[in-house]
Structure 1
């Protein structure tokens, strides 16, 4: 079984690279990624098997249609023992039962004489026969020996031009699809075999190769059976032009082989090679470069091509492997540890809850140190797609927006008075003109309705007349403050409810985003449905209930012990008195002439006390009802300002902080997991069959990729 001529494929550096690819293939990585490989393809009866024999000097079975009904992967491996093994890689389209059965197929022989019967067994196992001519299964033949190189070649079924009694249209399409799939892989070297017995224009493998490899950078075309061409004929000249790359150009060019004839199966490989050398030294073939004829030069050419191809492919292959390993490890990390018992399930949920509560606590406290929070989008809004995870910043933003909306739009009427508390004031153009119809009580969040002083007095007087008690004329009934306040603060409830909904939505969005990071999709879905969303809903309802209680307190009779209430009333009265004094002072100025030293006089302005007294007396409001109205508005404005600030604080502290933010850390925490029943733990954490299958798949992939990573490290250390 020793084949010394294969040493042409075994330079020291090349052997190391080929050993690496072989180790990668043996880990099963060829099922995950494209590995460098050599594929032999061509039309039926083009001489593919003879080409394989010539390259490897392995006597493949010659029985008709034996090795061409399915893809055959031939792996040569250097080993101390000479052994031939065979297995089947089943097509993924088969049933699980068929896949399991075919994967169980494994045979070992010690001699090539038993290879035909071994392949017969594999053919039968694939279910091939009169009713099924071809299969997408792959027959893997591994040939080990001390002189073997690490080399893998794949022999594909021959392309069929037309269907017949034994080969259906489906068979024609199946083989074309199979060949196209193999030759389209960018890390595949294609040995396209064409027979000189047939017109090359009719051999479809050339068209398929040009479509998959437009420049011919990885396709080496091999012409077989040149001995069937009549020496000196025009047909021979045409084929020689083709071989010289003059007709159909491929970057790697063409090569000619003269294989054994059908009646020469008994001659040795050495005799075959001598006969081939003699053939190409005669006639028009003698003018061809020795580098493009014969199997010896083909081995050297293939050796150089393999080495160059592997050098280019392996760096990208290593990067792809590392990327797949990183992605696989991340997927396994998301799945967490295996959860096949109640204790492992509870531990899994506790770990998940710990990670969740830590990130949630950071978000609530405004400490954004975890990678989860990412980079700040300075151009985006506070609650934009990249910024919303900073929960405390979002809540602060919403609280400030709520306070501002309450200040600017919380009051029903914008009263234009000579004196006003600036905090209640709003831009005049933001207020709508008041129409005294009695129906102008807004039910939605809209701009305040504008009132002038006369309209405001009429509005207050209307109420005053209807709630008058035993108070003396000129003194307002103190209950009017409550009536005015309730009408003026109608929109507070709408503003507060909207604010609570906004903050609750921000909390929900934030927690679900945390779950996206720490939990697999199916776990997130269960936890969200069974725990997170119900608790967030409860918190939302409790916040609304707190708001209802705040609104109930607001609807009661006015109460305040804040000294700012009386301070503001006195400020209003002081400002009014000051304004009156200034106005009256201007009105009571008189001019007087005063003598100076010498004969000159000067004229000065003086305030006449008598006129000032009379003027102040005239400015006193004589209309008792109007005076009471003015006093009532002063008291209301002071109370409204004080109560508005209290309301904003109460909503943000009680409804927002106490009900929405404070419990958020405990929505999913180790403490909450400890309270779960066994049934709830299993309902959330127990792995469904598909997750167990996914875990097994990922673990298998991880092992293959890690073995591949080790193979690269060993190879790099030895290169």
Structure 2
């Protein structure tokens, strides 16, 4: 509740000297960071009062802050109490509970809803009773339901003369379990203290009581475990008035205060808290009693800066200021790193999808982005950053290159065409007469085919790899190994014999020396048997490239779980449908291939004539070698002379083939070879155009994933497809809250730059 200035009945003039102006500016930075809630993300600098049970921690905190805490021992020490002192125009005291993050969500929400304001610190004891009841301890006159809690009581005090300071009083460390404190309680307190003092930005105020041997007080070991150099630990000795004046025990405690036994870089400080008979003393009376005590006995020999509450306040102020000056740059760096990591993590969740409208908008945007990039890939335009750099160290059709879909398809089509020329024929026919590949592999009807023609002396492996740098590793070529292994070799004589067998089994009413037109069909059908396997393999290969392309693109556009859903319910059925259509189209083409031969391409007759001319040229070459002789001219030049009359007579006689079936087989082989070559060109074109391009590539950007389809879905359908899981929603809320807090922290640092740095 709001109240008038000065309503809180507490003087804080003695604290006003804690910080000069520069100190206050430094404190303002941390205070602003704490106001943003950054303490839940980063370890912020603070002072922590800790010690064993009954070591006088609460009295130390009371003396430092001048806040009169309730004297009931079973209250404050059962949970952490955070004291936040802030400057403001109006005096206010606000109290709230910071629930343990491991509590159930309902309990967390309930405890966070409680907030109080008080007008006077005399109201604090009653409020503490209410707080402990809410935390689950039960009321003072009831049996305790629990002994300790990880909940934090936060007391925020604002006023025009308040310093910027945060201190935390922790439950006292328990030596051993008993009837009131279980083994779990011992562990809870130990873990709680270790969490606080383990913060490398915490100044540890380790309180030890002179009533007990300091060697047996747990806090000293805990402090040295987390701060072995003692750089951020200040030892505070309480209750020295219980020591017998002049005793050996008193001397050992004085030496401890002089940093002669357990050494801390920050040293030690000694306080005298109010004795039992002094509980009614005001804070001013308490300070006066303390000063009187330290002005006698061995304490007169101690450094005045290490005795009493007033020097301690100044000492803590300077320690905290120096500590903050050192830690703030590291704190800012850590904040920036966490903001960067949180931004990346939040971006990884993608666009929010908590309502049907958000989900539909998300899906439609995903569809538009997909269509744009997919169409660019189909068209071969690779300007979008998605396509990345060119990977020249791998084959073109490697899986890592599939985002450049058009390039991969074009390369694979060329590989298919080449494989068809090399391995499309069932029989590879070798002509021994001139050591060259004879029909159907002669490929000499045009210049283009001749480049793929291996000689008899060229191994199949050399023919396969000639001029192809990446062919060995290329998936396109690896896929044809099975078909390649099925190809066998025949000499021309063996091929003629093979055709002769077909001729005898296909003979009709044709005259001797002629052949049944169906013989061409039989030769072609057998020679083209591998086509179906080669084409089917090629179709499956391109279909796989399309699938890999989409599977790679989807995670780039949307979250993993949505990509998986779209893949299952949209992409997979669409690709299966397109692949099925491609194989159906290929089946029709294969069926057409099995029909009676039809061609209107003049290359068919041209090829036949070239084969016959080649045959005649071979005959002429043999005769000229046989009939020719070498003579010297009058100028003593060597020339080759041929008797033309004898040559003509031998040509006429030698060209006759008396075996009519063999003659028909030779003619049929040449005609079958010519028709095979003509059909092979057609088959390559029709497979790449009608099957690959029409059925698999064309329309890929619109048919598989369409923003229009997403727009026409019902709310139930879009939610089923891309609704954000509850865990993702929770993660998003957590990250958005974290991100906002970190950004507010950055702004706090930026605001401080002009006044401090």
> TM-score normalised to the size of structure 1?
0.88
SS in 1 for 2:699: helix
Over residues 192-239 of structure 1, what are the superposed CA-to-partner deviations in whole Å (9 max), with x where a residue is unaligned? Answer: 323333333333333333333444443333333344445555545554
- TM-aligned CA deviation for residue 127 of structure 1: 0.8
The aligned residue for residue 340 of structure 1 is 355
CA contact (8 A) 1:443 1:491 kept: no
- 2:710 is the alignment partner of 1:710: no
The corresponding residue for 1:46 is 55
The 1:64–1:652 alpha-carbon spacing in structure 2 relative to 1, beyond 3 Å, is: same
Say which SS state the counterpart of residue 54 (structure 2) adopts.
Answer: coil
2:353 matches 1:358: no
2:701 to 650, 654, 665: 665
State the match for 2:612 in structure 1.
Answer: 573
Query: 1:545: how far off?
Result: 1.9
Match of 1:645 among 674, 681, 684: 681
1:512 is aligned to 2:551: yes
Counterpart among 576, 593, 596 of residue 554 in structure 1: 593
The match for 2:420 among 399, 403, 406 is 406
| Other-structure match for 1:428 | 459
- Secondary structure of 2:328's aligned partner: helix
423, 446, 450: which one pairs with 2:489? 450
Partners in 2 of 1:391 and 1:19 — Cα distance? 58
Shift of 1:479: 2.8
Indicate yes or no: 2:584 matched with 1:545.
Answer: yes
Deviation at 1:323, TM superposition (A): 4.7
1:269 aligned to 2:283?
yes
In the alignment, which of 575, 578, 582 is matched to residue 621 of structure 2?
Answer: 582
Q: 2:39 corresponds to which residue?
A: 30
CA contact (8 A) 2:353 2:723 kept: no
Q: Deviations over 1:276-305 (max 9, x none)?
A: 455556555555555544434433443333
Alignment partners' CA distance in 1, 2:205 and 2:149: 21
Change beyond 3 A, Cα 1:352–1:431: closer
Note if contact 1:40-1:48 (Cα within 8 Å) is conserved in structure 2: yes
**1:515 & 1:713 partners in 2: Cα distance?**
39
Alpha-carbon offset, residue 329 of structure 1 = 5.2
Shift of residue 542, structure 1, vs aligned partner? 1.7
Q: Which residue of structure 2 lines up, in the alignment, with residue 435 of structure 1?
A: none
Select the residue among 220, 237, 252 that pairs with 1:206: 220
Compared with structure 1, are the counterparts of its residues 665 and 48 closer, same or farther at alpha carbon in structure 2 (3 Å cutoff)?
same
- Do structure 1's residue 162 and structure 2's residue 200 form an aligned pair? no
Deviations 1:161-185 (A, max 9, x none): 2100000011111111222222223
Residue of structure 2 aligned with 1:138, choices 152, 159, 173: 152
Report deviation, 1:125: 0.3
SS at match of 2:89: coil
2:313 pairs with 1:299: yes
Tell me if 1:101 matches 2:128.
Answer: no
Would the aligned equivalents of 1:376 and 1:386 in 2 still touch at CA under 8 Å? Answer: no
**For the Cα contact (< 8 Å) 2:354–2:729, is it kept in 1?**
no
**RMSD of aligned C-alpha atoms?**
3.2
Say which of 590, 608, 611 aligns to 2:643.
608
- Which residue is equivalent to 2:7? none
Indicate how the Cα distance of structure 1 residues 684 and 584 shifts in structure 2: closer, same or farther if over 3 A, else same: same
CA distance in structure 1 between the aligned counterparts of 2:705 and 2:643, rounded to whole angstroms: 80
CA distance in structure 1 between the partners assigned to 2:568 and 2:223 by the alignment: 54
- Structure 2 CA distance for partners of 1:590 and 1:88, relative to 1, 3 Å: same
In structure 2, the CA distance between the partners of 1:11 and 1:364, relative to structure 1 (3 Å rule), is: farther
Residues 48 and 496 of structure 1: is their aligned pair in 2 closer, same or farther, counting only changes over 3 Å?
A: farther
Match of 1:521 among 560, 568, 573: 560
Q: Where in structure 2 are the equivalents of 1:366-515 lying within 5 Å?
A: 366-382=380-396, 387-417=401-431, 418=436, 419=438, 420-421=442-443, 422=450, 423=452, 425=454, 427-430=458-461, 444-447=482-485, 448-515=487-554
Count of residues paired in the alignment: 705
Deviations 1:93-148 (A, max 9, x none): 22232222211211110111111111111100011142310111111111121111
Over 3 Å counting, the alpha-carbon distance change for 1:713 and 1:425 in structure 2 is same
Gaps of 5+ in 2: 1-9, 139-143, 444-449, 464-479
Q: C-alpha separation between the residues in 2 aligned to 1:563 and 1:247?
A: 110
TM-score by length of 2: 0.84
Q: What is the CA–CA distance in structure 1 between the aligned matches of 2:106 and 2:340, rounded to whole Å? A: 32
Shift of 1:325: 4.3
Distance 1:430 1:29 in 2: 68
Greater mean deviation of Cα atoms: 58-67 or 604-613: 604-613
Which residues of structure 1 form unaligned runs of 5+?
433-441
Matched, 1:258 2:272: yes
Q: Give the match for residue 61 of structure 1.
A: 70
Q: How does 1:68-79 map to 2 (within 5 A)?
A: 68-79=77-88
Per the alignment, residue 209 of structure 2 pairs with: 195
